[in-house]
Amino acid sequence: MVEIQNTGERVTVELKGDIDHHSAAGIRSEIDAVLENSTPGILILSFSEVKFMDSSGIGLILGRMRVLEGFGGKLFIKNINGTAERIVKLAGLSGLII
């Protein structure tokens, strides 16, 4: 489940619950629909309410990065901790954390 705030230039996505192979496709679809309609300069993924994340979360992040790069946007991650933070750091994506 996600909550999305869109100001036009910035889209903030509050991710909730688990991010695994069961939920990732639905999350991707929701985010991509907003990105395609507004082409923001910044996408912020907030992980404050994520309880579990597996490698599907990394795919979610990398895929959104590719979409944003297509129109010159940037992705940032905030409020990440625990297992999700370790997975992001192991994937070499710690530079995205703000």
Nearest to 19 by CA among 79, 91, 83: 83
Helical segments of the chain, H only: 24-38, 55-69, 82-90
Query: Position of tokens 């994937």?
Result: 91
Per-residue confidence (pLDDT) for residue 1, from 0 to 100 = 84
Per-residue pLDDT of 5-57, as tens digits, reads 999 999 999 999 999 999 999 999 999 999 999 999 999 999 999 999 999 99
- The 10s digit of each residue's pLDDT in 61-74 is 999 999 999 999 99
pTM of the model: 0.95
Would the pLDDT of 58 be above 90? yes
